[in-house]
Amino acid sequence: MPGPTPGCPEMSLPPLLLLLPLLTSKPAGATLIRIPLRRVYTGSGPLNPLRGWGNAQEPLRLGGPSPGGNSTFVSLSNFLNAQYYGTIGLGTPPQNFSVVFDTGSSNLWVPSKRCYFFSLPCWFHNRFNANASSSFKPNGTKFAIQYGTGRLSGILSEDKLTIGGTMGASVMFGEALWEPSLVFTFALPDGILGLGFPILAVDGVQPPLDSLVDQGALDKPVFSFYLNRDPAVVDGGELVLGGSDPAHYIPPLTYVPVTVPAYWQIHMERVKVGTGLTLCAQGCAAILDTGTSLITGPWEEIRALHKAIGGFALLRGEHLIQCSKISTLPPISFNLGGVWFNLTAQDYVLQITLGGVRVCLSGFGALDVPPPEGPFWILGDVFLRSYVAVFDRGNGKEGARVGLARARPPGS
């Protein structure tokens, strides 16, 4: 080995000084980008979920912190206490759109400047103008998506995606030309960005998350949701692409394997209402879905649940709860991965104000899904406001999984 350079005395730095640059420097590709968005809170009641269930092109198959990894943060806003959405950009320069980040679908679409004249939702939302983008690449393939509460059709196009301040990945997306469903007219977001598995993508289009990973914008297909439940604050929460933020939850994360890599479906061992009622007694399927506002389950089981908590049925399937009895209602607990995830009545009762009067509604709804896909429960925003979910698509060696941990209270 060569000795010290002549004329340059050999220096021995204290270990702490040698370590200091490592502690103060940021690892390559680990930039965290946060975009604060304003919460729009109207005080209205929960809407029927405008969720994304894109039709799969083939039958459904059964089947923690990320140091040093790319992570991109996109703040979310609450929509009518039922929808969380954020802003993305498409094109060069970016044209901004508000979209629902939906784990129950896998396509990205926004209204088009070329939409049909009688497509009413186009006139109430931002529309993509291909002629105003220098990076636009036409495709022209026709697409159509049928959702649970609406449908739309249009053409596929390709352009640059800006998300959380990060720009550069090219994505295939839908330009909606025809939106005949009124639900899109009254929805505040412009479109939907799906975060489900590729099998759900209509026309085999590569989902946006896969495009971001393949083109180096993200290290791995992992994302997490923190949904702020406090309507008094501006921030509605955060979607973290590429990892998770430990400041959002109370460790540890409990990981549960995905059993059907289409929707984010996992196995739920059982559900308990207080100490007197057990549901899903033999185990059942559960789907974590950011595009569903409530927690849903089979009709018979939800009926028994509402009987146990004293819910009164309303006309649209919603159940009224006596506000004065919230403090006496039992906890409702979900056993996932061998761990109990508890919701108090403060968690599962939606408290809204109508005409100056406080009204309390159950956060549970009935939904019967026939075999072979069903029956299953959906753990929607009522659950995800209390528990941060880390969605990990896995890799060739490890399968997909979902990590769950109690969300930190706002301001903690």
Beta strands 249-261 and 277-279 are: unpaired
Closest among 335, 35, 82 to 189, alpha carbons compared: 82
What Å distances lie between residue 380 and 72, 81, 84, 202, CA to CA? Answer: 23, 12, 11, 23
Task: Name the one residue in this structure whose structure tokens are 């979920």.
Answer: 49
Token pair 């330009």 is found at 175
Nearest CA-CA partner of 330 in 313, 344, 340: 344
User: Taking the C-alpha atoms of 199, 205, 209 and 213 in order, what is their torsion angle to the nearest 10 degrees?
Assistant: 110
Decide: 244 and 69 in contact? Cβ < 8 Å.
no
- Is there a contact between 110 and 154 (Cβ–Cβ < 8 Å)? no
Catalytic site residue from 102, 159, 235, 381: 102
Rounded CA-CA distance 263/334 in Å is 19
Residue 3 DSSP class: -
Contact 110, 177 (CB under 8 A): no
- Distance in angstroms (rounded) separating the CA atoms of residues 307 and 291: 27
In degrees rounded to 5, what are phi and psi of residue 22? -70, -30
DSSP 130-178: GGG-TT-EEEEEEEEEE-SS-EEEEEEEEEEEEETTEEEEEEEEEEEEE
Buried b (16+ CB within 10 A) or exposed e, 263-295: bbbbbbbbbbbeeebebbeeebbbbbbbbbbbb
Burial of 3 (0-12, 13-18, 19+ CB in 10 A): exposed
Annotated catalytic residue 289: yes
What is the DSSP code string of 313-324? E-TTS-EEE-GG
Residue 235 is among the residues annotated as catalytic for this protein: no
Active-site residue, from 190, 210, 235, 289:
289
3-class DSSP state for residue 347? helix
Tell me which residues are annotated as active site.
102, 289
